[in-house]
Chains A and B, each alone.
Chain A
Amino acid sequence: MPVPVLQAVDLSRTVTIGSETRPILQNISFAVQPGEVLAITGPSGAGKSTLLRLLNRLDEPSGGDVLVDGTSFRSLSPRELRRRVGMVMQRAFLFPGTVYGNVRYGPAQHGVPFSNRDADALLEQVGMAGYGDRDALTLSGGEAQRISIARTLANQPEVLLLDEPTSALDPDAKQAVELLLARVVRERQVACAWVTHDYAQARRVADRILRIEAGAVTALGTPAAVLLEQE
């Protein structure tokens, strides 16, 4: 059994709104192996996005731990954690400037040399060869999402967090990006947590499925087991 690259242990988050404290996630535990896709499903408002945001510390957990390669997130700087735990959001949110500028952004933040040749290799992997000099803000939704994937991969993350990465795309782009992501996970052997509300997609891409409802885990297992129970 390989070591999990990503492990959540009793992860919780409560938020305070006015005088009221409300738990949005309670005691979530799971582990993801290198090259494995864990799909995270559940109804709207269940806490799926929040869970991902705890894993790269965009939001602060109120309890529990996240282990990256066995190291607690508390003993990593947020920037180091975020380099190692990459994230692709529902929308691409590219930065103004060229595609090259976007792909280089992560390495530049860490003082890692990154040439246009390196960027070209990545662009080719995401099916965007030759787009380096294009203005990033003029790309279509599907193209932009591919660039945001390349931008995340440029940091060479060990973990990939995907928050409904295809839900804003039209059916063709959706299928292509889904295939691309599945391939990237296998080729790079990253541990992948993939939020999707699309059960068919979960069945296609996931090795295991974690279902969250109202902030708590209600199922964790193989797609066959979890989705059978669902239906």
Chain B
Amino acid sequence: MLRLLFHTQLSLGIAQAGFVAVTTLIVAILARRRGARAGAEIPLALVRGLAQILLIGSILALLMRGPWWTAIPLLLVMIFIAATIVRQRVPRLPGAYTLSLWCMSAGAGGVILVMAAAGIIDTRIAMLVPVGSMIIAQNMNIQSLFLNRFLAELESHRGEIESALALGAQPEAAVAPYLQAAFHASLIPATDNLRSLGIVWIPGIMTGMLLSGASPIYAALYQFVILAMIFTAGGLSCLTATRLAPSRVFTRFQQLRTGL
């Protein structure tokens, strides 16, 4: 329908974005009527997401002809911003920002570095930036899920944890089951994406590659590569969090902090 009304690519894009924004807003309003708190965040998230993707689109257009290494500061900035977003999910966790920064540097950062060095991620900027950003974005979600779940587990198992401490357990041992639960829960979406790949879900980058004329088999394989990298990055960042998170939730006298 829209295609009949808008003839240039830009105007079509704007119309398409406007249309989905309106439908999302309607859902947000409905959600809010039902008392879902998430409803309130949606309009702002929409505007923010749109502005950001437009900005990065323009930057990419500029950088496309630049040297490959300009991707490095760009991806670094993305990791820093992702860490601030994770922190907002767990505002009362002390040191949440540096914690997520370390975790995502080890996860997304490590995977991008190794895979680019091994030639698995093409280091041309038009590939490195979108693929890298995909890994970082998913890593951010996984990291948020991890910390969110971990803190929720602590809150609902305060009695068990303090019982363990009272028996002389190391803080790390006292929270080990809850780190495990958080680890498991945070990787569920990435695992399900891998499991349903191609059946329930033909992801964007494959669509993009097909549209731009790549061989379907190569596009399929590469899609698998990306999801596997997302999974690996997520796993690495959670492993790092498993090591670093316990010290943030205990005082130096091995007392479980309150109000996390």
| Distance in angstroms between the alpha carbons of A168 and B256 in the assembled complex | 24
- Whether B168 contacts A83 by the Cβ 8 Å rule is yes
Residue A86 is within 8 A (CB to CB) of chain B in the complex: yes
Among A54-62, A121-129, A176-184, the stretch that binds chain B is: A54-62
Asked if residues A87 and B254 are in contact (CB atoms below 8 Å), the reply is no
- In the assembled complex, which residues on chain A have CB atoms less than 8 Å from the CB atom of B256? 58
Q: Could you mark each residue 79-113 of chain A with 1 if its beta carbon is under 8 Å from any beta carbon of chain B, else 0? A: 11011001101010101100000000110011000
Taking the complex as formed, is A33 at the interface, i.e. its CB lies under 8 A from any CB of chain B? no
Contact (A58, B255) CB under 8 Å given A89-B159, A93-B159, A109-B169:
yes
The answer to whether B253 has its CB under 8 Å from any CB of chain A is: yes
Q: Is A78 an interface residue (CB 8 A)?
A: yes
A residues in contact with B167, CB < 8 Å: 82-83, 86, 105-106, 109, 151-152, 155
B166 engages A86 (CB within 8 Å): yes
Please, which residues of chain A bring their CB within 8 A of the CB of B169?
A: 79, 105, 109
**Subset of 15 A-B contacts with CB under 8 Å:** A57-B255, A58-B255, A78-B253, A78-B254, A79-B254, A82-B165, A86-B167, A89-B162, A91-B159, A95-B160, A95-B164, A105-B167, A109-B168, A109-B169, A152-B167
A residues with a Cβ closer than 8 A to B are 56-60, 78-80, 82-83, 86-87, 89, 91, 93, 95-96, 105-106, 109-110, 148, 151-152, 155
- Measured between beta carbons, the chain A residues less than 8 angstroms from B253 are 57, 60, 78
Q: Which of A59, A78, A96 has the most CB of B within 10 A?
A: A78
CA distance A105 to B164 in the complex (A): 8
Q: Judge whether A89 and B168 touch: CB under 8 Å.
A: no
A94–B162 alpha-carbon span in the complex (Å): 11
A93 interface neighbour in B163, B168, B170, B251, Cβ under 8 Å: B163
- For this complex, into which size category does the number of interface residues on chain B fall? 10 to 19
Q: Which residue of B lies closest to A82 (CB)?
A: B168
Q: Is the CB of B173 within 8 A of A58?
A: no
Q: Is A106 touching B163 in the complex (CB atoms < 8 A)?
A: no
Give the Cβ gap from B167 to chain A, nearest Cβ, in Å: 4
A87-B166 in contact given A57-B253, A60-B253 (Cβ < 8 Å): yes
Determine whether the beta carbon of A58 is less than 8 Å from that of B159. Answer: no
Q: Does B189 contact A (CB under 8 A)?
A: no
Per-residue interface assignment for chain B, residues 151 to 177, with 1 indicating a CB less than 8 Å from any chain A CB and 0 otherwise:
000000001101111111110010001
A148 CA to B167 CA in the complex, in Å? 10
Interface centre among B160, B164, B166, B170 (most CB of A within 10 A): B166
B124 shortest CB reach to chain A, Å: 51
A68 to chain B, nearest CB (A): 13
Tell whether, in the assembled complex, residue B162 and residue A80 are in contact, meaning their CB atoms are under 8 Å apart: no
